[in-house]
Structure 1
Amino acid sequence: MDIKGSYHGLERKNLIFNWHDIEEQGFYHSNGNYESGCTTVASEGIENKHAIVIGAGIAGLAAACFMVRDAKMPGENITVYEARSVSGGSCDGMFIPGKGYVISGGREMDDHFECMWDLFKDIPSCDDKNVSILDAYKRLNEADPNFSYCRLSENCGQNANEKTGNTFNMSDKAQMEVLKVMLMKNEDLYGKPIKDFFSEETFNSNFWYYFKTMFAFKNEHSALEVKLYLQRFIHHLEGFTDLSSLRFCKYNNYDSIILPMENWLKDHGVKFVYHAMVTNVLFEKKDGKKTAKTIEVTIEGKDQKVEIDEDTFVFFTNGSNTAGLKLGDHHTAPEFSTEVYGSWKTWQNIAKQDPSFGNPDELLADPELTQWESATLTTMSDEIVDLITKITKRDPRDGKVVTGGIVTIKDSGWVMSWTINRQKHFLDQDPKKNTIVWIYGLYTSNIGNYVKKRMRDCTGEEIAKEWLYHIGCPLDKIDELAATGCNCIPCMMPRVTTYFVSRSKGTYPEVVPAGVTNFAFLGNHANVERDCSFTTEKSIRSAMMAAYKFGKVNRAIPEVYGSIYDIRWVLKAFVDMRDGRPLNDTKMFEVPSFLEKPMAMGQKLLLDKVILPAVDKTDIGVLLRRLKVFDFSGVKTK
């Protein structure tokens, strides 16, 4: 169908929501339920077209789902190639015989992941086929809301928030530094680390402890990505202090999300080919068009070439953050491998063919900058559970929220954080017999506090010792409980934060680069306007963009939630950054010391006598009072 000509005023709406030409993109954005509630219509000839999905991670599965649900492509026309024996990509979770339960990481989710919830309202949940993933998720988080009693700890299990409260503890200077980055243009942030913009006052604040460990940022990481996160989640700023802004699945990501998506696709006839490693996609360039023509794939060890035409659409997830993942066990440290293979190698091969296909080498250049290590600890010990209960103020065996997100240990050499989600965390787990703890260290080359080694050199047992020390285990019990009271599987990930490399413009390819007729890049290494990386939402959004373009879907893609453009959220964020203090006494810029007092007096006089009395006569004043942005106690309104 002719999307551009379908709706009167669509170009005008697109200027607000997307800022790109509709005809060039092949899809458009909107918000509200006029578009989201409509039923799509199959485009002409879709039944004669095909799709090949490379990589069965959440982005690839979502692309297949959108092609079936919204583009109306028959499931039998879709093939998914997956290099491993199981779907899920980085959304993993499994029991490995001889090792134990393993999850490389978890996903923090938001009620404004618009594309994700749009999809999950139609995918049956793993527990009840009559209840969607969205409905199950919403009911769970309403019945058992998420929040943390201890976001920061120190001194072997002491609650660090008891000293400062759940505050950001930011100086005026730190607030201005954060505000400046949040409002800068992308062009001024490309290739620059956040340490170029934040001073020690910001880095030493509670705000940065919350922010860096919640999202896994380092001081050397991308200022652009920090900006995107600040804008994307400005509506949740207050909840950073106790993690009440977060929501979690009932089980691990594989059981709660991936398995239901895979089952739904198979029920609709989609074909899955496992042990199928795609090594390259070859393009033909002609008359300004770039068309994928050949897929080189190794299936069960046999090299094959799959010839395709413009009526076969290829969806490729470029660059996995768990590529190169290496597991250790309770008695063995994991290997730290910097070998480039899998989807990264495939992306390199594709990128050689055209500059618009991105630059993976820039993201792979410094593995030290992109690595951290996690560990999955399974404990059978009542003594360890008692230590957990003391910190979290919750019994992990009661099936409800436990930590409410990560607990970050402020004085940990490894910058260790840990979390316990609702138990059971695996469908086949007995929560009365064992509890699953997820641990991660942001700086694996640092020396531990109890175990005097780098985290990356430690066995699972040694990581367990370090964790037990930090949660307040008596010193004479640590070694015994680490040896007999738990099983810990370390997981080293050299590419886990490639998303946060200080990248250049063009490092991420567009979802569908200019001139490309039948190929899309998916996932967190594709460029998506206004969205931030390392989220399930960006993976699913990129899939929706690609599927809607190729499937010519007559329905808008939900815009990235526009809280940064909502004055209510922006004003509230100003107050939240100041821990509830009104803006009256903010020092907006540095002045000589002899001018500080008269400047402050002049600012207060101007506010109290001129600006605030005038504003107080309007609806703006009502809003400012309700959000407590200013202190109106000294204001007299005539």
Structure 2
Amino acid sequence: MSRKAYFVGAGVGSMMAAFFLMRDVNFQGSDIIMLETLNVEGGSCDGTGSVETGFICRGGRMFNYPTFECTWEVLKEIPSLNAPGKSVYKEIVDFNEHNVKNSKSRIVDKNGCRLDAQDMGFTMRDRMQLLKLVDTKETEIGASIITDWFSPEFFQTNFWIMWATTFAFQPWHSAIELKRYMERFMHEFVRINTMEGIKSTPLNQYESMIVPLQNYLSKKGVSVKFDCTVEDVTMEESAGKLTAKTIHFRKANKMEQIQLAQTDLLFIQNGCMTDAATIGSWTKPAELKGIADSTSFKLWEKLAQKYLGMGNPKPFMRNTNESIWQSYTVTMKNPELFKAFLAVYKNRPGIGQIMTFKDSNWFHGLVIAEQPHFRNQPKDVNTMWGYGLFPNKLGNFVNKPMLECTGQEIFYELCQTCRIPPELVHDVTCLPCVMPFITAQFMPRTVSDRPKPVPDNAVNFGFISQFVEIPFDTVFTVEYSTRAAQTAVYELCDVKKKIPKVSKHNKKVVVMIKAVRKAFMGGAGTLREREMKKSNKLVKIGMVAVAGALAYAAKKKFE
């Protein structure tokens, strides 16, 4: 009997792991089986809908070329379905060469006017506090939160507004995760206002990445069994080692089992950022759910209660008020309405990326992607995607929390914020989506709370998710799921091939000097730099010298 590999979930991590099993372990696709609760693969990378019902994306991941080492390795081998003769990677590269990001309205005030976002807005105290966090070891940071490291004024800076809304950070999130992001994406620090380094896919990520990957796996014989919710895994302990023996899952309200052979493998998704997510409508709010409605977190909790080495899910699931935010997708059949939003956006679709409404009670942002954003989207129909990081707060124009709003009410708030004339608001729909665990991976935690991709006591199983421990890498990215998948496969199957290292851009002297210079002087042409030009040139020279010295000192510390 051939060796089989079973997966709890058919998200992007599981799909990547299946790829590595076939390429590097010589698994047959027909011996790879995925059990998925939903009726579609791809996990949190989704994109669906129609003109009649409205299009919907729960969220979107951002890509970056100098990083995402493991993900690009895979996508270079996956044929594109949209661009014959190209890989998915090449298609994405070509698309971004012709669609270089250059946000002209990164921050917008309450009057609908764009602000100068080149200057980070730091005081000397802000700079020193940021440098101190980056220079502190994770073991010393522990479970502290971001507000433990910064004064209240820091959270009013342009930097925080842009960094928080680009990567979805909240002040109460883990200080370790902010440190990791600062190190992993230090090369983007200098252009966070233009978002030039952020890459996107030609269509939504489901159709640009997941569908080609699923098509590749399907042709190889990999099977996905939908409507299958794994509720437990029975393990056998012997000599301090754990061996997965039985998968218990529910299909069509009936419990079933899969007995694992001695040589079989099992990959478990312990936690999912879109667990218990719900979608509303133009006339109905999205329903707020919680841990009782989750599947992956409850499975992880059950395993952690029974067996050692499974980590501790409680920090990530105990307070959905601190991990929740809400998104929405707008579908417009009225071209004039779309043009009105573009007038505020001041970019052609796909170029501006996130536009943040600084004074919004919902900490509200809007993205207008390249059109069409969906394969079945007609040329005369346009879409937009937005989100609110503070959905528990009352709107500025709608007197209720975003969580209680219908799609129509959310769109009204957006139109009022952007000063859109009421007579243009017709032939439009807006679908809200509530995600109670969307930033659960950012919650404060200790190193032991996240299990390793392959626990030290595991014989035939591993974990693939945003909730495993991978040194130096950043959660809330496709790369984290891919690296977890590759790590789990290589360790369980004793693959000698090396996994691409996490790029250490923060150790490059040129990157650090540019970052410190940006922190001190903002961008070319900012008010601060113009003032410096008018004053003694020696001041500017001194600032640059200080920046270089600090960068060099920090580099020596990191080494």
Question: TM-score scaled to structure 2, two decimals?
Answer: 0.91
The residue matched to 1:213 in structure 2 has which SS?
Answer: helix
- Distance in 1 (alpha carbons) for counterparts of 2:58 and 2:46: 7
Decide whether the 8 Å contact of 2:335 with 2:382 is kept in 1.
no
Give the equivalent residue in structure 2 for 1:306: 258
Alignment of 1:172-321 (within 5 A): 172-321=124-273
Query: Could you list the per-position Cα deviations for residues 35-74 of structure 1 after superposition, in whole angstroms to 9, with x for gaps in the alignment?
Result: xxxxxxxxxxxx9422111111100111101101122111
Give the equivalent residue in structure 2 for 1:359: 312
Give the equivalent residue in structure 2 for 1:415: 363
1:517 has 2:459 as partner: yes
Query: Could you list the per-position Cα deviations for residues 234-289 of structure 1 after superposition, in whole angstroms to 9, with x for gaps in the alignment?
Result: 11111211111100001111101111111100111112211111111111110121
1:393 has 2:341 as partner: no
Query: Could you list the per-position Cα deviations for residues 77-132 of structure 1 after superposition, in whole angstroms to 9, with x for gaps in the alignment?
Result: 11111111110111011116973211000111111210000110001112134211
Taking only aligned residues, the RMSD between alpha carbons, in angstroms, comes to 2.4
Decide whether the 8 Å contact of 1:372 with 1:441 is kept in 2.
yes
- AA partner of residue 135 (structure 1): K
Decide whether the 8 Å contact of 1:157 with 1:471 is kept in 2.
yes
Give the equivalent residue in structure 2 for 1:565: 507
Give the equivalent residue in structure 2 for 1:124: 79
Alignment of 1:437-586 (within 5 A): 437-474=384-421, 477=422, 481-482=424-425, 484-580=426-522
Unmatched segments (≥5 aa) in structure 1: 1-46, 583-603, 613-620, 631-638
- Distance in 2 (alpha carbons) for counterparts of 1:297 and 1:136: 38
> After the TM superposition, which of the residue ranges 122-131 and 273-282 deviates more from structure 2?
122-131
The residue matched to 1:158 in structure 2 has which SS?
Answer: coil
Deviation of 1:153 (Å) = 0.5
- AA partner of residue 517 (structure 2): V
Decide whether the 8 Å contact of 1:104 with 1:374 is kept in 2.
yes
Decide whether the 8 Å contact of 2:12 with 2:482 is kept in 1.
yes
The residue matched to 1:429 in structure 2 has which SS?
Answer: coil
Deviation of 1:568 (Å) = 2.4
Decide whether the 8 Å contact of 2:411 with 2:430 is kept in 1.
yes
The residue matched to 2:448 in structure 1 has which SS?
Answer: coil
- Distance in 2 (alpha carbons) for counterparts of 1:55 and 1:143: 35
- AA partner of residue 244 (structure 2): A
Give the equivalent residue in structure 1 for 2:53: 99
Deviation of 1:291 (Å) = 0.8
Unmatched segments (≥5 aa) in structure 2: 525-537, 554-559
- Distance in 1 (alpha carbons) for counterparts of 2:24 and 2:85: 20
Give the equivalent residue in structure 2 for 1:378: 331
Give the equivalent residue in structure 2 for 1:435: 382
- Distance in 1 (alpha carbons) for counterparts of 2:413 and 2:14: 38
Deviation of 1:505 (Å) = 2.6
Give the equivalent residue in structure 1 for 2:303: 350
Query: Could you list the per-position Cα deviations for residues 122-151 of structure 1 after superposition, in whole angstroms to 9, with x for gaps in the alignment?
Result: 011121342111110111111221221110
> After the TM superposition, which of the residue ranges 300-309 and 554-563 deviates more from structure 2?
300-309
- Distance in 2 (alpha carbons) for counterparts of 1:191 and 1:549: 28
Deviation of 1:382 (Å) = 2.9
Deviation of 1:566 (Å) = 2.1
The residue matched to 1:506 in structure 2 has which SS?
Answer: helix
Deviation of 1:381 (Å) = 2.1
- Distance in 1 (alpha carbons) for counterparts of 2:548 and 2:156: 30
> After the TM superposition, which of the residue ranges 328-337 and 571-580 deviates more from structure 2?
571-580
- AA partner of residue 184 (structure 1): T
Equivalent in 98, 122, 128 of residue 143 of structure 1: 98
Deviation of 1:395 (Å) = 4.3
Give the equivalent residue in structure 2 for 1:635: none
- AA partner of residue 105 (structure 1): G
Equivalent in 36, 41, 58 of residue 82 of structure 1: 36
Pick closer, same or farther for the CA change 1:96–1:351 going to 2, 3 Å. farther
The residue matched to 1:558 in structure 2 has which SS?
Answer: coil
- Distance in 1 (alpha carbons) for counterparts of 2:108 and 2:127: 24
How many residue pairs match? The answer is 536
Decide whether the 8 Å contact of 1:100 with 1:487 is kept in 2.
yes
The residue matched to 2:286 in structure 1 has which SS?
Answer: coil
- Distance in 2 (alpha carbons) for counterparts of 1:71 and 1:97: 43
Give the equivalent residue in structure 1 for 2:534: none
Pick closer, same or farther for the CA change 1:189–1:624 going to 2, 3 Å. closer
- Distance in 1 (alpha carbons) for counterparts of 2:357 and 2:411: 14
Tell me which structure has the larger Cα radius of gyration: 1
- Distance in 2 (alpha carbons) for counterparts of 1:59 and 1:287: 30
Question: TM-score scaled to structure 1, two decimals?
Answer: 0.80
- AA partner of residue 361 (structure 2): G
- AA partner of residue 468 (structure 2): A
Give the equivalent residue in structure 2 for 1:157: 112
Decide whether the 8 Å contact of 2:329 with 2:432 is kept in 1.
yes
Decide whether the 8 Å contact of 1:292 with 1:310 is kept in 2.
no
- Distance in 2 (alpha carbons) for counterparts of 1:556 and 1:629: 30
- Distance in 2 (alpha carbons) for counterparts of 1:578 and 1:61: 44
The residue matched to 1:347 in structure 2 has which SS?
Answer: helix
Deviation of 1:333 (Å) = 1.1
Decide whether the 8 Å contact of 1:170 with 1:201 is kept in 2.
no
The residue matched to 2:502 in structure 1 has which SS?
Answer: coil
Deviation of 1:392 (Å) = 2.7
Pick closer, same or farther for the CA change 1:167–1:505 going to 2, 3 Å. same
Query: Could you list the per-position Cα deviations for residues 382-419 of structure 1 after superposition, in whole angstroms to 9, with x for gaps in the alignment?
Result: 332222221233444xxxx24x2110000111110010
Deviation of 1:306 (Å) = 1.1
Give the equivalent residue in structure 1 for 2:22: 68
Decide whether the 8 Å contact of 1:310 with 1:517 is kept in 2.
no
Give the equivalent residue in structure 1 for 2:528: none
Deviation of 1:624 (Å) = 5.5
- AA partner of residue 150 (structure 1): S
Pick closer, same or farther for the CA change 1:581–1:152 going to 2, 3 Å. closer
- Distance in 2 (alpha carbons) for counterparts of 1:83 and 1:550: 25
- Distance in 1 (alpha carbons) for counterparts of 2:381 and 2:118: 31
Decide whether the 8 Å contact of 2:309 with 2:457 is kept in 1.
no
Deviation of 1:354 (Å) = 2.1
Decide whether the 8 Å contact of 1:91 with 1:253 is kept in 2.
yes
Give the equivalent residue in structure 1 for 2:64: 110
Decide whether the 8 Å contact of 2:509 with 2:552 is kept in 1.
no
- Distance in 2 (alpha carbons) for counterparts of 1:143 and 1:201: 39
Deviation of 1:179 (Å) = 1.1
Decide whether the 8 Å contact of 1:156 with 1:469 is kept in 2.
no
Percent of residue pairs identical: 31
Deviation of 1:518 (Å) = 0.9
